[in-house]
Amino acid sequence: MHVIAEDNDRKQGDFLYKIPLKLNFMKKKGENRLKRILSLLLTVSTLISLALMLVVPSSAIDDPVVENVEGAYVYNFENDQAIYEYNSKKKIFPTSAVKLMTGILAVEELGDRLDEKVTLTEEMLKNAVGSKIGLKAGEVISIKDIVWSLLVGGGNDSAYVVSHLVSGDASKFVTKMNTRARELGALNTNYTNPTGMHDDNMYTTVEDTAIIARHAYTLSLFMEGTSSTSYSFESKTKTIGNRNALLYRSGIDGGDGKYIDNQARGMNAGSTPQGGHCVVTTANNGELSYLIVVMGGKTVDDTIYSYTNASMLIDWAFEAYNYIEVLSPNIIICEIPVTLSSVTDFVNLVSVETLNVYLPSDVDPATAIELSYVTHFEEIQAPVEKGQVLGSVTAIYEDRVLGTSDIVATADVARSELLYTFHKIEQFSKSKFFIATVVSAVVLTVIYILGNAFLRGRKVKRRY
């Protein structure tokens, strides 16, 4: 780590130190030609090294290469940070990702009505085409069955029933979907139906899809439902499997199980001929959680690239980023001179806090992290107590402040009473009172001497 003093204006009460980097080209008189040549070569080598340091980033981890997809996005929940984007703002057909919003509204609007029974009608089901779970008009089922069949099975018939239960009809529900998208910040999304069946006027972006998915992640019922591999209706008459082939071998896009990824959890998957395959999922390794969005995936040689890219991005995210220790009580930040002690003339200062920061995994703290410190005193008098706050340190990576901590003394430093006594005498001798007293004494002595001289002079005159 580069430990430097904070390069700010002097603050009252603080002593700031700066350790500048200099290239010293020393030329001594009488230096022979060989030494001059070697010195020149050394200088050129140093300049080239510095130039390379400026050109080469401190993190050498390459971005992943996605194939045969329209867009991709990787987001870390704990640090609210997108670590990878590919065509994230490009408008694309949302396909089944539409059901993220349908599921959000189902959970938010119907989550407290799951035990209610409803009778399905022709009106509810008439527009449902594409992937369905087989709901029938006249069936009496619970709202729980409807919501879970949407979340787990992604049924288009379930989506239309939800739209009627929430808003009375599908058109009003779509208006509610668009309003909710705007509220969440997805400003480049337009829905025209609750299922994702193709419509030229329906669009989104990978970035918007990630925004919507991030909210869905906060809804426990949504995540529980979309993470389940299957769901059985309360009547036991129907069992449906999760259509996300990352989670379940009977997913409609990958029935042979070749896309199963044990790291993946929840969300949504599906496809249309016009929009291709999409998959939105999350992954957690116990320390870090990620959102993965892959949209517009193609099928090439029986390989669905939405799934293969999603798994690749999950692996890459866990490998490419991690928590790295940038501040620790084990790292000596600086030392400060100590006076009035007979055992030492300085004390080391270390950080109070241990600071672990989310950074690229290949960042080397010893070379990439800059520690900038400021101390409260130029020097300190003993006694000093272990743990006494004597300044602060800031960790910086690529001009970004990572965190700040107090810096404290690492040891007790006792005061020498003899040195302290001499110090007090010295301080007293420099005090205004002492100086005034001495001056007064000198003045009085001079006056006394002059006075005596004057009186003796008068006595001599009287004799004569």
Convert the pLDDT of each residue in 194-217 to its tens digit. 999 999 999 999 999 999 999 999
CA distances from 436 to 57, 429, 447 (A): 65, 10, 16
Backbone torsion region of residue 238, taken as left when φ is above 0, otherwise alpha when ψ lies between -120 and 50, otherwise beta: beta
- The least confident of 125-129, 142-146, 169-173, 420-424 is 420-424
- The least confident of 45-49, 108-112, 387-391 is 45-49
* 407 DSSP 8-state letter: E
pLDDT at 442: 79
Give the mean model confidence (pLDDT) for residues 71-97: 98
Composition of the chain by helix, strand, coil, percent to 5: 35, 25, 40
* 255 DSSP 8-state letter: T
pLDDT at 57: 39
Phi, psi dihedral angles at 240 (to 5 degrees)? -120, 150
Element (H, E) at 434: helix 432-463
For residue 4, name the pLDDT band (cuts at 50, 70, 90): low
* 95 DSSP 8-state letter: G
Q: What token pair was written down for 268?
A: 């949504």
**What residues are paired with 373 via a beta bridge?**
5, 393
Taking 80 as the threshold, does the pLDDT of residue 30 lie above it?
no
Taking 70 as the threshold, does the pLDDT of residue 171 lie above it?
yes
Report yes or no: 158 and 131 within 8 Å, Cβ to Cβ: no
Taking 50 as the threshold, does the pLDDT of residue 56 lie above it?
no
pLDDT at 460: 63
Q: What token pair was written down for 220?
A: 């426990």
The residue among 401, 386, 398, 399 whose CA lies nearest residue 329 is 386
Environment class of residue 392 by beta-carbon count within 10 Å: exposed (0-12), middle (13-18) or buried (19+)? Answer: buried
Q: For the residues of 140-208, what is the DSSP string, one character each?
A: EEEHHHHHHHHHHH--HHHHHHHHHHHHSSHHHHHHHHHHHHHHHT-TT-B-SSSS----TT-BB-HHH
**Which of the two residues, 52 and 251, has the higher pLDDT score?**
251
CA distance 209 to 306: 15
Q: What token pair was written down for 329?
A: 């009580």
Give the mean model confidence (pLDDT) for residues 233-241: 89
Phi, psi dihedral angles at 225 (to 5 degrees)? -70, -50
- The least confident of 227-236, 411-420, 426-435 is 426-435
**Which of the two residues, 450 and 26, has the higher pLDDT score?**
450
Report yes or no: 348 and 409 within 8 Å, Cβ to Cβ: yes
Give the mean model confidence (pLDDT) for residues 339-363: 95
Residue 16 neighbours by CB under 8 Å, 6+ apart = 5, 6, 7, 8, 10, 374
Give the mean model confidence (pLDDT) for residues 253-261: 78
Q: What token pair was written down for 358?
A: 């989310």
For residue 9, name the pLDDT band (cuts at 50, 70, 90): very low
Give the mean model confidence (pLDDT) for residues 102-120: 97
CA angle centred on 7, ends 5 and 10, rounded to 5°: 100
For residue 45, name the pLDDT band (cuts at 50, 70, 90): low
Give the mean model confidence (pLDDT) for residues 440-463: 74
**What residues are paired with 360 via a beta bridge?**
321
- The least confident of 5-9, 116-120, 245-249, 376-380 is 5-9
At position 230, the amino acid (one-letter code) is: S
Query: pLDDT tens, 315-331?
Result: 999 999 999 999 999 99
- Pairing outcome for strands 369-375 and 299-300: unpaired
Give the mean model confidence (pLDDT) for residues 49-56: 40
pLDDT at 211: 98
Taking 60 as the threshold, does the pLDDT of residue 19 lie above it?
no
Query: pLDDT tens, 288-317?
Result: 999 999 999 999 999 999 999 999 999 999
Report yes or no: 338 and 413 within 8 Å, Cβ to Cβ: yes
Element (H, E) at 35: helix 33-55
Report yes or no: 177 and 166 within 8 Å, Cβ to Cβ: no
What global pTM score does this model have? 0.78
For residue 254, name the pLDDT band (cuts at 50, 70, 90): low
For residue 39, name the pLDDT band (cuts at 50, 70, 90): low
pLDDT at 434: 63
Look over the chain and give the mean of its residue pLDDT values, rounded to a whole number: 87
pLDDT at 280: 98
Tell me how crowded residue 63 is: count the other CB atoms within 10 A of its CB: 12
End-to-end C-alpha distance for the chain, whole angstroms: 92
Report yes or no: 204 and 133 within 8 Å, Cβ to Cβ: no
What architecture is the 71-297 domain classified under in CATH?
Answer: 3-Layer(aba) Sandwich (3.40)
Domain boundaries, the chain: 1-22+320-422, 71-297, 431-463
For the segment(s) 1-22+320-422, the CATH number from 3.40.640.10, 2.60.410.10, 3.40.718.10, 2.40.50.140 is 2.60.410.10
The residue among 192, 312, 343, 180 whose CA lies nearest residue 246 is 312
Taking 90 as the threshold, does the pLDDT of residue 12 lie above it?
no
Give the mean model confidence (pLDDT) for residues 34-41: 55
For residue 345, name the pLDDT band (cuts at 50, 70, 90): very high
